[in-house]
Amino acid sequence: MFDQVAAGYDRTNTVLSLGNDRLWRIATTRAVAPRPGQRILDLAAGTGASSVSLARSGAEVVAADFSPGMIAEGARRHGDVPNLTFQQADATALPFDDDAFDTVTISFGLRNVSDPQLALAEMRRVAKPGGRLVVCEFSHPQQPVFAGLYRFYNDRILPVVAKSVSSNAEAYDYLNESIRDWPDQRALCARIREAGWTDVAYRDLTFGIVALHRARKPVA
């Protein structure tokens, strides 16, 4: 499914999010706070839009995604960006050594993994002791009126727009279903703690449509 939408993926996301995807990417980059000399794993990187902003800091960034089509599109667009490499990878069985990355980040991909809990454990394995986790993911607005408006947009507006701008509208039906079934902010915090991460915290973006979760791997 993701292979099929790779070419127009970023454009469609910008349209469906009313441009908020760029703001969410900026917030995620600031939360990661990349620095020269760091090694960062960007999972579910898609075409590498987030990875490019991380690599501009001088950090060494590995953009990994389960979809070969996404990785191929990302390499075609950004293959000449310094400090950035693309690699196909399964988040539940990462092809990296233990304690390999200063930070592991995943944006809008954790809910697509077949076993999110195993993926969170794998992310902890490849992070260095004291290393950081940053998860940017769709969540659940807590304010009732806004939550109702958001549900209306997802149920009635998003499918119509997706059919007009996407090469695979069914993929965005799945998007809506996966958002609806995903745990809320506090429940995801609990899952991250269960995977062995500490100092778990979150903050809402765009009234809770998206939540930015952060955690740290224990030093000992």
Residue 163: inside a domain: no
Q: Which of 13-27, 121-135, 166-180 has the highest mean pLDDT?
A: 121-135
Is the predicted pLDDT of residue 160 greater than 70, yes or no?
yes
- Which of 2, 3, 52, 11 has its CA nearest to residue 28? 52
Mean pLDDT of 1-5: 64
Residue 168: inside a domain: no
Residue 207: inside a domain: yes
User: How far apart, in whole angstroms, are the C-alpha atoms of residue 192 and residue 216?
Assistant: 10
For 11: left if phi > 0, alpha if psi spans -120 to 50, otherwise beta; the answer is alpha
Is the predicted pLDDT of residue 170 greater than 70, yes or no?
no
Residue 209: inside a domain: yes
Which band of pLDDT confidence, cut at 50, 70 and 90, is reported for residue 155? confident
User: How many Cα atoms are found within 13 Å in the side-chain-facing hemisphere of 36?
Assistant: 2
Is the predicted pLDDT of residue 210 greater than 90, yes or no?
yes
Is the predicted pLDDT of residue 165 greater than 70, yes or no?
no
SS3 category, 106: strand
pTM of the model: 0.90
Is the predicted pLDDT of residue 176 greater than 80, yes or no?
no
The residue type found at 185 is Q
For the chain, the average pLDDT equals: 90
Condensed to tens digits (0 to 9), the pLDDT of residues 22-67 reads: 999 999 999 999 999 999 999 999 999 999 999 999 999 999 999 9
User: How far apart, in whole angstroms, are the C-alpha atoms of residue 20 and residue 136?
Assistant: 13
Which band of pLDDT confidence, cut at 50, 70 and 90, is reported for residue 212? very high
Condensed to tens digits (0 to 9), the pLDDT of residues 99-138 reads: 999 999 999 999 999 999 999 999 999 999 999 999 999 9
Residue 49: inside a domain: yes
**Number of domains the chain is built from:** 1
Is the predicted pLDDT of residue 183 greater than 90, yes or no?
yes
Share of the chain above pLDDT 70, in %: 89
| pLDDT given at position 1 | 66
| pLDDT given at position 156 | 83
Residue 156: inside a domain: no
Query: Residue 104 belongs to what domain range?
Result: 2-6+17-140+183-216
Residue 21: inside a domain: yes
Instruction: For residue 11, give both structure tokens.
Output: 């454009």
In contact, 206 and 197? CB cutoff 8 Å: no
Q: List the CATH number of the domain containing 57.
A: 3.40.50.150
Residue 150: inside a domain: no
